[in-house]
Amino acid sequence: MAQVELKQVRKTYPNGAEAIFGVDMQIDDGELIVFVGPSGCGKSTLLRMVAGLESVTSGDILIGDRLINDVSPSERDVAMVFQNYALYPHMSVRGNMSYGLKNRKMDKAEIERRITDAAKMLKIDQFLDRQPNQLSGGQRQRVAMGRAIVRNPQVFLFDEPLSNLDAKLRVQMRIEIKKLQRRMNVTSIYVTHDQTEAMTLADRLAVINEGRVEQMGAPMELYSNPRTLFVASFIGSPAINLIPVRFDGTSLLAGDISIAGFSGLPKDKDLVLGVRPDVLTVSDAGQFAISVDLVEQHGGENLIYGSLSGVSADNGDAQEMCLKASHDLLPGIDEKMKLAFNPDDAFVFEKDTGTRLI
Amino acid sequence: MERVPISTHIILIIGALFMTLPVWVAFATSTHAPETILREGLQFWPGAHFFETYNEVLFVEGGVMKKVTATTMLKNSMILGVGFAIGKVVISMLAAYAIVYFRFRLGVPLFWIIFMTLLLPLEVRIIPSYEVVANMGLLDTKAGLIIPLIASATGTFFFRQFFKSVPDELLEAARLDGATAWGFFIDILVPLSKTMIAAILIIMFVVGWNQYLWPLIMTTKEENYTLVIGIKQIYQVLNEGGELPQFQKAFALTILATLPPVLVVLIFQRWFVKGLVESEK
């Protein structure tokens, strides 16, 4: 169990490509931190730097109080679960789990005890003598986790461990990982590009974009109080509605419509209004008029997509709006609806910089 | 199973006959007395002298100096074939491991230099190679026979391609598991390459067994002859000696020379095919 600290960590590849631009982060003992961001944002690179699989160009990484920049991966006391499991194909499950311990010259009885414990915890005890190619994806994933657990490391690192599983299994394993991490209380870093996974697993999550941490905090904090346009658009499913607007001193103007209830915004700049699909309500006094394009029925709720009349998006297409409604609201295609929202629940961002103004 | 047209079978049978008939003729002829062969030419049916011929070839010392038996030559050929195959696999695996997993200066150009030696068969560099081995005092030794041949561009290339197809995550997992460079090679790569190793061992055994030019110039003493050279020597005796030509012995030696490679391939063909076909990850 340990804290992990990143101080001004940077990564520049030998060919000059910069991957990480000065990340500062403090991860507490026993905390589950999720790095989330789009492909190529540097989240995996950052994780691999903690693991020791990538070198640190500048800055410091500390586990506990130990500076580990130049410590070899095996001596960092971290264990990693890989996306494609990375099980040794020619070794049995037991062989896979014991390999790291044998390399550490651990006592045979102790190895056996740890394997038995971990296998029981992960419910893979009946597979111990099988080869990885005789296991299903979910079972392989458990073995990969077992291999990490037997090491009894100070930090667990997960690199998109669930992305090779089918949707149902993914949800199930997600819950198990969370439970396991709670029970073992080991500091963990988890990388994913799936924002649902990020929201549900994380104690805190770090949204990473183009090699920088855009915002770090508890999932709900990021959802309800995003600091930038990127965070607002990345977190939340269905995605937030973003409407290009300008401010005329008293209200926001978007195409033909004007929305009151805002103040203190710059007049001469392109702005973006962000409204989450779940704060929109159907009301005749609503600010937005939409014509329904599509209704997705999810069982408990319906997602209603429509084009906003009077506004066109930047590319000239109709501006899409999404509304999250209860399952009994089922409008027909092309039906006109009016949607309202409370200005306090909406965000306004500066378009060019992405900074949040309100 | 689909019904195969009869013409396909006929073509297959003709092909098989074409391949095996010469071997059969060699075998049948080897079981006749030298007088019969001289008088009637090649024989298509076995004669009565099987034991006589093979006993003489295997156990009675022959050759120009009357010093070598086929048993000795078989042993020499076996040492050459096995040493050649094992040496090639070991050297080329290590070379491929270095090329794929270690970033060192000039790694890529070095690989291409190794690869380009494929363009230079032994025949081209045989005089310098001979010079080197002779200066090292290795003429007429097993080491001199084997070592100059074991550097293998083909083997290095095959193993390089195979190692490149092993996912990087395995290496990373092994690093986190505390495996040393040597440990990763022995514990992970070698077992993963098992079928590949088997296939290359078999191919290289056959290639080594069939070496002709190099053993011919490397060995001067008859007791160091390999079987393939032995055959040649017997023909030479046939042409130069005033004795009755011993064609049956030459054919018997030929049959003996083909047997071990055939056996190796037959016994290990399952591995062999697996190694060539399988893309095991």
Tell me the pLDDT tens digit for each residue of B223-248: 788 888 887 777 766 665 566 777 88
How far is CA A230 from each of CA A256, B64, B236, rounded to the nearest angstrom?
Answer: 26, 90, 87
pLDDT at B275: 64
Q: Does A308 reside within a domain?
A: yes
Residues A21 and A124 reside in one and the same domain: yes
**CA-closest candidate to residue B173, choices B184, B162, B164, B160:** B184
Chain B residues lying within 8 Å of A73, measured CB to CB:
172, 175-176
Q: Is A166 left (phi over 0), alpha (psi -120 to 50) or beta?
A: beta
**Chain B residue with minimum CA distance to A81:** B173
Chain A residues lying within 8 Å of B179, measured CB to CB:
74, 99, 103
CB contact A55 to B (< 8 Å):
no
CATH code for the domain in which residue A290 is found: 2.40.50.140
Residues A248 and A209 reside in one and the same domain: no
Domain tally for chain A? 2
Position A170 pLDDT exceeds 50: yes
CB contact B187 to A (< 8 Å):
yes
Average pLDDT, chain B: 84
Q: What is the ipTM of this complex?
A: 0.83
pLDDT at B280: 45
Residues A203 and A54 reside in one and the same domain: yes
Chain A residues lying within 8 Å of B176, measured CB to CB:
51-53, 73-74, 78-80, 100
CA A203 to chain centre: 11
Q: Does A89 reside within a domain?
A: yes
According to DSSP, the residues that pair with A319 across neighbouring strands are A308
- Of A52, A89, A99, which is closest to B177 when you measure between CB atoms? A99
**CA-closest candidate to residue B46, choices B36, B55, B56:** B36
- Of B172, B179, B183, which is closest to A86 when you measure between CB atoms? B172
CATH code for the domain in which residue A78 is found: 3.40.50.300
pLDDT at A28: 93
Residues A206 and A286 reside in one and the same domain: no
- Mention every residue, 6+ apart, whose C-beta is less than 8 A from residue A214: A207, A208, A227, A228, A230, A231
- Of A74, A82, A89, which is closest to B281 when you measure between CB atoms? A89
CB contact A223 to B (< 8 Å):
no
Under a CB-based contact definition with an 8 Å cutoff, are residues B172 and A80 in contact?
A: yes
- pLDDT (average), residues B31-36: 84
Q: Does A356 reside within a domain?
A: no
Chain A residues lying within 8 Å of B183, measured CB to CB:
103
Asked if B188's CB is within 8 angstroms of A72's CB, the reply is no
pLDDT at A61: 94
Position A62 pLDDT exceeds 70: yes
Residues A152 and A74 reside in one and the same domain: yes
Under a CB-based contact definition with an 8 Å cutoff, are residues A144 and A91 in contact?
A: no
Chain A residues lying within 8 Å of B175, measured CB to CB:
52-53, 72-74
Residues A104 and A63 reside in one and the same domain: yes
- pLDDT (average), residues B27-46: 84
- Of B169, B187, B280, which is closest to A82 when you measure between CB atoms? B169
Question: Residues of A numbered 118-157 whose beta carbons fall under 8 angstroms of chain B's beta carbons: which are they?
Answer: 147
Q: Does A358 reside within a domain?
A: no
Tokens of B159: 């193993």
CB contact A47 to B (< 8 Å):
no
According to DSSP, the residues that pair with A4 across neighbouring strands are A27, A63
**CA-closest candidate to residue A162, choices A148, A180, A176, A183:** A176
pLDDT at B65: 54
Distance CA A244, CA A320 (A): 12
Q: CA of B180 to nearest chain A CA: how many angstroms apart?
A: 9
How far is CA B15 from each of CA B10, B11, B29, B44, rounded to the nearest angstrom?
Answer: 8, 6, 22, 18
Residues A137 and A270 reside in one and the same domain: no
Position A60 pLDDT exceeds 90: yes
Asked if B187's CB is within 8 angstroms of A86's CB, the reply is no
Query: Measured on CA atoms in the order A71, A76, A82, A87, is the torsion positive or negative?
Result: positive
**CA-closest candidate to residue A48, choices A145, A125, A160, A142:** A160
- The backbone torsions φ and ψ at residue A189, rounded to the nearest 5 degrees and listed phi first, read -120, 130
Q: What pLDDT band is residue A232 in, cutting at 50, 70 and 90?
A: very high
Residue A43: half-sphere exposure toward Cβ, Cα within 13 Å: 27
Identity (one letter) of the amino acid at A349? Answer: F
Residues A80 and A112 reside in one and the same domain: yes
In terms of CATH architecture, what is B64-277?
Answer: Orthogonal Bundle (1.10)
- pLDDT (average), residues A22-27: 92
Under a CB-based contact definition with an 8 Å cutoff, are residues A49 and A20 in contact?
A: yes
Q: CA of B181 to nearest chain A CA: how many angstroms apart?
A: 12
Under a CB-based contact definition with an 8 Å cutoff, are residues A282 and A338 in contact?
A: yes
Q: What pLDDT band is residue B281 in, cutting at 50, 70 and 90?
A: very low
Tell me the per-residue pLDDT of B57-109, one tens digit each, with 9 for 90 and over: 787 766 555 667 788 888 888 999 999 999 999 999 999 999 899 888 888 88
Question: Of the residues A173, A204, A229, which one is the last residue of a structural domain?
Answer: A229
Query: Measured on CA atoms in the order A66, A69, A72, A73, is the torsion positive or negative?
Result: positive
Q: What pLDDT band is residue B11 in, cutting at 50, 70 and 90?
A: very high
Question: Of the residues A198, A229, A260, which one is the last residue of a structural domain?
Answer: A229
User: For helices A93-103 and A137-150, what crossing angle results, to 10°?
Assistant: 20
Distance CA B184, CA B200 (A): 21
pLDDT at B190: 93
Q: Does A236 reside within a domain?
A: no
**Helix locations, A123-238, DSSP H:** 137-150, 167-184, 195-201, 219-224, 229-234
Q: Does A235 reside within a domain?
A: no
DSSP one-letter string for A201-232: H-SEEEEEETTEEEEEE-HHHHHHS-SBHHHH
Q: Does A234 reside within a domain?
A: no
Distance CA A271, CA A346 (A): 13
Average pLDDT, chain A: 90
CB contact B274 to A (< 8 Å):
no
pLDDT at A269: 86
Tell me the per-residue pLDDT of A270-309, one tens digit each, with 9 for 90 and over: 899 999 999 999 988 888 889 999 999 988 899 999 988 8
**Chain A residue with minimum CA distance to B178:** A74
Instruction: Give the rounded percent of residues in chain A with a pLDDT score beyond 70.
Output: 99
Higher-pLDDT residue of A196, B121: A196
Position B141 pLDDT exceeds 90: no
According to DSSP, the residues that pair with A272 across neighbouring strands are A244, A349
**Chain A residue with minimum CA distance to B179:** A103
Higher-pLDDT residue of B268, A10: A10
Residues A197 and A265 reside in one and the same domain: no
Residues A267 and A225 reside in one and the same domain: no
Q: What pLDDT band is residue A63 in, cutting at 50, 70 and 90?
A: very high
SS3 of residue A118 by DSSP: helix
- Of A78, A90, A103, which is closest to B179 when you measure between CB atoms? A103
**Helix locations, chain A, DSSP H:** 43-51, 93-103, 108-122, 137-150, 167-184, 195-201, 219-224, 229-234
Tell me the per-residue pLDDT of A95-151, one tens digit each, with 9 for 90 and over: 999 999 999 999 999 999 999 999 998 889 899 999 998 998 889 999 999 999 999
Residues A166 and A72 reside in one and the same domain: yes
Q: Does A100 reside within a domain?
A: yes
Tell me the per-residue pLDDT of B186-205, one tens digit each, with 9 for 90 and over: 999 999 998 888 888 888 89
Residues A209 and A260 reside in one and the same domain: no
What is the extent of the structural domain holding A130? Answer: 4-229
Chain A residues lying within 8 Å of B172, measured CB to CB:
51, 53, 73, 80, 82, 86
- pLDDT (average), residues B30-39: 83
CB contact B281 to A (< 8 Å):
yes
User: pTM of the prediction?
Assistant: 0.81
Question: Of the residues A229, A251, A274, which one is the last residue of a structural domain?
Answer: A229
Chain A residues lying within 8 Å of B188, measured CB to CB:
88, 90
Q: Where are the beta strands (DSSP E) in chain B?
A: none
Identity (one letter) of the amino acid at A75? Answer: E
Query: How many CB atoms within 10 Å of residue A85?
Result: 24
Asked if A99's CB is within 8 angstroms of B175's CB, the reply is no
Beta-carbon pairs below 8 A across chains A and B: 62
**CA-closest candidate to residue B69, choices B208, B223, B211, B212:** B223
**Chain A residue with minimum CA distance to B169:** A86
Higher-pLDDT residue of B115, A160: A160
